Homo-oligomer: A and B are copies of this chain.
Amino acid sequence: MNIIVPVILSGGSGTRLWPVSTSTAPKQFQPLTGGGSMFLQTVERTKDRGRFAAPLVVCGLGHIAHVEADLAAAGIGDARIIVEPAARNTAPAIALAALAAVADDPAAMILVMPADHVMTNVAAFLDAIEAARPAGDAGALATFGIAPSHPETGYGYIAAGDPVAGSPGVHAVLRFVEKPPRDRAEAMLAEGGHYWNAGIFLMRADRFLAELERQQPAMAAACAAAMDGAHIDGAQVHPDAGAFLSSPSDSIDYAVMEGAERVVVAPVDPGWSDVGGWAALHDLGAKDETGNVRIGKVIAVDATGNYLRACEGRRVAVVGISDLIVVTHGDDILIVPKDRAQEVKAIVEHLAAQD
């Protein structure tokens, strides 16, 4: 039984956490939640070399410096960095890493993790990996299903079916459910046996590649050619750009998982958040007696339920406001109601249109 190769997907450029997160310095590299950046927290989750092999990081050209700085901060010297010539969504990104893993070891097992999630209970996650491991060894593609706390309409769901022998708590996947309307989400919560799809996967690299070849032959061929022509520069792997650019762009869910054979789900409750917007950071943050999260120099008078973030060198003073997001970053100041925090992207679009 081989140890698990962490594959850290760091290609995102989250705009919903503007002004802190930008395309050149996206959220996974920002110390938003305490305890270092989310990228750093992700690599530290699988730092135990008794259980995990050296990680494979997949990122864009513009983020190599961020990745290298955070790996150094985490004291991780054995990672390889696969540099995407362009963004092609998660399926091709995982394919590049799977190809690198099987080149090292034909029986390699990969653990795919987005670099921009938070987990407050890593032990629960490690236990779920142990539970899913036997199914993965036997050739299943394992997803991790987050126990839902509320009828969230912003995530996809996984419906669990029959238990899988040999992997305690693990179930076959009945179906994937795309982001549901509210009533459907409520029904799934009431019914039970439904989990949030967190985009975390454990699987043999060869099984993933076989499913990719069966379902997405053009993508599989493009990624294989890209890795065949890869240029190695120290810890950096630069796949051939021309080959990779010819790949279709798609997510692992659509391209592989929804049509794959032998997909299982390992339920887990690791205190997970995808930190999908400023409201999530209010949820995650330590609150004062009136429900404000205060970061940096903040003066709050008769204010409740706000997320108040003053960056280095600034001071935020508020009176009489409720349930607002206030974020300063460099010369920018963002103000938006908590329940409309997703609309920050309208500002990013406005700024992009000005350029």
Contact = CB atoms under 8 A, between A and B. Distances in A.
Given A333-B328, A347-B299, A340 B317 contact: no
A310 interface: yes
A337 interface: yes
Contacts of A320: 336-337, 340, 343
Interface residues of A, number: 31
Residue of A314, A320, A321, A344 ringed by the most chain B CB atoms within 10 A: A320
Contacts of A344: 319
Given A301-B343, A351-B299, A319 B336 contact: yes
A336 B336 CA distance: 13
A48 interface: no
Given A326-B333, A333-B310, A19 B317 contact: yes
A150 interface: no
Contacts of A318: 334-336
Contacts of A340: 319-320
A104 interface: no
28 contacts: A301-B343, A301-B346, A301-B347, A301-B350, A302-B343, A302-B346, A314-B331, A314-B332, A315-B333, A316-B333, A317-B332, A317-B334, A317-B335, A318-B336, A319-B335, A319-B343, A319-B346, A320-B336, A320-B337, A320-B340, A320-B343, A321-B335, A321-B336, A321-B337, A326-B335, A328-B333, A333-B333, A335-B335
| Pairs A-B, 4 closest by C-beta atoms | A320-B340, A319-B336, A318-B335, A317-B347
